[in-house]
Chains A and B, each alone.
Chain A
Amino acid sequence: MTALSPYDLFTTMCPTLLASLPQPAASPLAAVLAAMPYALDLLAVLLLALGLKGLSKVRSARSANGLAALAMALAVVGLLIEQQLSPAAWLWIAGGTAIGGCAGLLLARRVPMTAMPETVALFNGCGGMASLLVAVAVALFQSAPDAALSGAVLVERISIVISVFVGAITFSGSIVAMGKLQGWIDTPGWTQSQVRHAVNIALAVAALVGGLALPADPAGAALWLLVVASSLLGIGVTLPIGGADMPVVISLLNSYSGVAAAAAGFVVGSQLLIVAGAMVGAAGLILTQVMCTAMNRSLVSVLFGGALGASAGGHVGGGGDEAGYTRITSCSAEECAMALETAERVVFVPGYGLAVAQAQHTLRELSKLLEANGTEVSYAIHPVAGRMPGHMNVLLAEADVPYEQLLEMDAINPEFPRTDVVIVLGANDVVNPDAKSDPSSPLFGMPVLEVDQARQVFVVKRSLGAGYAGIKNALFELPQTAMVFGDAKAVLAGLLSELRELGVGKKPASVS
Chain B
Amino acid sequence: MSSLSQALWVLLLGSLLGLELIGKVPPTLHTPLMSGANAISGITVLASLTLIAQAHGQPALLLLGGASLAFALFNVVGGFVVTDRMLAMFARKSDRR
Q: State whether the Cβ of A19 lies closer than 8 Å to any Cβ in chain B.
A: yes
Which B residues touch A52, using CB under 8 A?
18, 21-22, 36-37, 40
Minimal Cβ-Cβ distance residue in A for B20: A6
**Contacts of B13-42 to chain A: CB distance below 8 A:** 13-42
Task: Specify the main secondary structure of chain B where it touches its partner.
Answer: helix
Which B residues touch A99, using CB under 8 A?
70
* Given known A52-B18, A272-B46, contact A394–B32 (CB-CB < 8 A): yes
CA distance A383 to B41 in the complex (A): 25
Band of interface residues on A: 35 or more
CA distance A113 to B74 in the complex (A): 18
Residue in B9, B25, B73 whose CB lies within 8 Å of A56:
B25
CB pair A390–B62 under 8 Å, yes or no, is no
CB pair B44–A4 under 8 Å, yes or no, is no
CB pair A123–B88 under 8 Å, yes or no, is no
Q: Mark B79-93, 1 if CB is under 8 A from A, else 0.
A: 111111111111111
Which B residues touch A123, using CB under 8 A?
35, 38-39, 42, 74-75, 78-79, 82
A residues in contact (CB < 8 Å) with B = 1, 4-6, 9-10, 12-13, 16-17, 19-20, 48-49, 51-53, 55-59, 61-62, 64-66, 68-69, 72, 75-76, 79-80, 83-86, 88-89, 92-93, 95-97, 99-101, 103-105, 107-109, 111, 113, 116-117, 119-120, 123-124, 126-127, 129-134, 136-138, 140-142, 151-152, 155, 250-251, 254, 257-258, 260-262, 264-287, 290-291, 294, 381, 383, 388-391, 393-394, 397-398, 400, 402-403, 406, 408
A-B contact pairs, 30 of them (CB 8 A): A9-B20, A12-B13, A17-B10, A52-B37, A56-B33, A58-B28, A68-B80, A96-B73, A103-B78, A120-B31, A120-B38, A123-B79, A126-B71, A133-B68, A134-B51, A134-B68, A137-B51, A151-B1, A151-B4, A257-B41, A257-B75, A260-B44, A262-B14, A268-B51, A269-B3, A273-B44, A275-B13, A281-B15, A285-B19, A291-B30
B residues in contact (CB < 8 Å) with A = 1, 3-4, 6-7, 9-55, 57-58, 60-94, 97
